[in-house]
Amino acid sequence: NAGVTQTPKFQVLKTGQSMTLQCAQDMNHEYMSWYRQDPGMGLRLIHYSVGAGITDQGEVPNGYNVSRSTTEDFPLRLLSAAPSQTSVYFCASRRGRGIYGYTFGSGTRLTVV
């Protein structure tokens, strides 16, 4: 199994550009989440989904959109990139709540200039 696959691994954007970070999992997990990791701040939740067609906002949702049309895919869209969105982005999934931990992707390092 591939687990959680994120693409691209690295990306440089100009301010104002838009792009989509891809995330796919092959474990049939219900729950998927997007986090950003900034130095000294740990991980902060952007958006999450508890199943196909169901998404909700996390702690820092502004400037990002998500959709969940299938169980496998959970893309994150940056609408108009800003330098403050320079970060490392992680997608994660888990089978359900309770006793399950998250499986993380390897991350996308995004720089906005």
Partner 1 sequence: SQQGEEDPQALSIQEGENATMNCSYKTSINNLQWYRQNSGRGLVHLILIRSNEREKHSGRLRVTLDTSKKSSSLLITASRAADTASYFCATDDYFGNEKLTFGTGTRLTIIP
By the criterion CB under 8 A, which residues form the site for partner 1?
4, 31, 33, 35, 40-45, 48, 50, 56, 58-59, 90, 92, 97-107
**In the complex, least distance from residue 4 CB atom to partner 1, rounded to whole angstroms:** 8
Are 25 and 90 a contacting pair, CB within 8 Å? no
CB atoms within 10 A of CB 42: 8
Name the residue nearer to partner 1 (CB basis): 26 or 80: 26
**In the complex, least distance from residue 83 CB atom to partner 1, rounded to whole angstroms:** 22
Alpha carbons 93 and 53: distance in angstroms, whole number: 15
Rg of the Cα atoms in the chain: 13
Name the residue nearer to partner 1 (CB basis): 28 or 42: 42
